[in-house]
Structures are given as C-alpha cells and as structure tokens.
C-alpha cells in the first residue's frame, strides 16, 4: 500500500526532470521508514497497516507479544472469569428498578447471575466448590421457568434481587475464590 501511495504521490505531485528517479526514491524511502516505526510500540498499528516491507516482521513481533499472554491465560482464565463475573454482579448493587431503567436493570441482573454461574462451573476447583451460589441460580431458573421476558423478571423481581444479594454475601465470605 505504501508503494502504491508513493507512486500516486509522485504521479500527482511529480514535477521532477527524471520521472524514473522519483518513484524509486519514493519507493525506497517508505521501506526505510517502516522498519523504524515497526520497532516503536506506539507505531505498531500504523507500521503493520502501511508497508508490505514491514509486514514480514510485524506478525513475528505481534506473535511474540501475544505468545506470553496466551500461555499465561489458560491457567488464569477461570479465576479471572469468576472475578470478572463477580465484579459485574456487584456493579448492579447500587442500581435499582426505576421506571425508565427497570427492564435493563432486571435483565442485567439476570445476565450477570448467569455469567457468574458459567464462570463458577468453569473454575478449576470445579462446580462443587461453589455449591450455594450455583444452587441459588438453579432455584431461580426453576422459578423463572426459562422465561427471561421483562414481565416474568418483573413478576419475580424479589427472588431475582434476593438471589443476587445472597450470592454477593456468599462471595464476600470467600474472597480467595475471586481475588
């Protein structure tokens, strides 16, 4: 793409005497600039998107940066899933069912409870490590009967909020499970 832009720039703005000298000079200039910008972390996106010459080095750099994160992620992922899900659940604590916000709020509490359920079941300690929260969500699901509609969530609002609050209390008593 840089070569194309350089050629276009020379063709549109070229006023030189030797048209062959300008394209070769312009074509080599971006190639020498691209590797220096590829080495700069702040310029990694423009460098990889701008020059085919830097594209050969760019995937290697990207893979080397991504490799440590990918290798560390599998062992940490389930714990971070529980931590992140619990943070999402806690974020609903200071909100309430107001006239303009009730459908969103109840839907979010429902979603955060089920995100928490999935995270606890995926935890390396196993779902047996979180018996009470998983049981509370199963009880809520049984009462909701698979109906996630606003009308049903509103009808079961007390149980939905109580389930959230009980799980919050249980998790507060088990800080090693999400920190």
Q: What is the mean pLDDT of each run of 10 residues along the chain (179 residues)?
A: 45 48 43 40 38 38 33 50 92 93 97 96 88 96 96 97 96 78
pLDDT at 80: 82
Q: Which residues contact 56 (CB under 8 A, 6 or more apart)?
A: none
Distance, CA of 111 to CA of 90 (rounded, Å): 12
Other CB atoms within 10 A of residue 4 CB: 10
pLDDT at 178: 67
Other CB atoms within 10 A of residue 144 CB: 17
Q: Which residues contact 157 (CB under 8 A, 6 or more apart)?
A: 97, 106
Distance, CA of 104 to CA of 110 (rounded, Å): 10
pLDDT at 9: 45
pLDDT at 124: 87
Which whole-number Å values give the CA distances from 10 to 30, 47, 64, in the listed order? 13, 21, 37
pLDDT at 42: 39
- 107, with CB counted inside 10 A (0-12, 13-18, 19+), is middle
Residue written as tokens 């050969």? Answer: 56
Q: Which residues contact 153 (CB under 8 A, 6 or more apart)?
A: 106, 107, 110, 144, 160
């Amino acid at each position: 793409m840089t070569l194309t832009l350089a050629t276009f720039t020379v063709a549109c703005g070229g006023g030189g005497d030797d048209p062959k000298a300008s394209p070769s000079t312009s074509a080599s200039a971006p190639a020498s600039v691209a590797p220096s910008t590829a080495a700069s972390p702040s310029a990694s996106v423009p460098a990889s998107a701008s020059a085919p010459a830097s594209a050969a080095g760019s995937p290697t750099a990207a893979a080397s940066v991504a490799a440590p994160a990918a290798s560390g992620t599998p062992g940490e992922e389930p714990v971070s899933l529980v931590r992140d899900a619990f943070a999402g659940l806690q974020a609903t604590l200071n909100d309430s069912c107001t006239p303009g916000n009730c459908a969103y709020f109840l839907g979010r509490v429902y979603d955060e409870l089920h995100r928490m359920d999935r995270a606890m079941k995926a935890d390396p300690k196993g779902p047996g490590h979180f018996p009470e929260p998983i049981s509370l969500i199963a009880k809520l699901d049984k009462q909701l009967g698979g109906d996630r509609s606003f009308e049903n969530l509103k009808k079961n609002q007390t149980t939905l909020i109580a389930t959230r609050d009980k799980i919050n209390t249980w998790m507060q008593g088990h800080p090693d499970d999400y920190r």
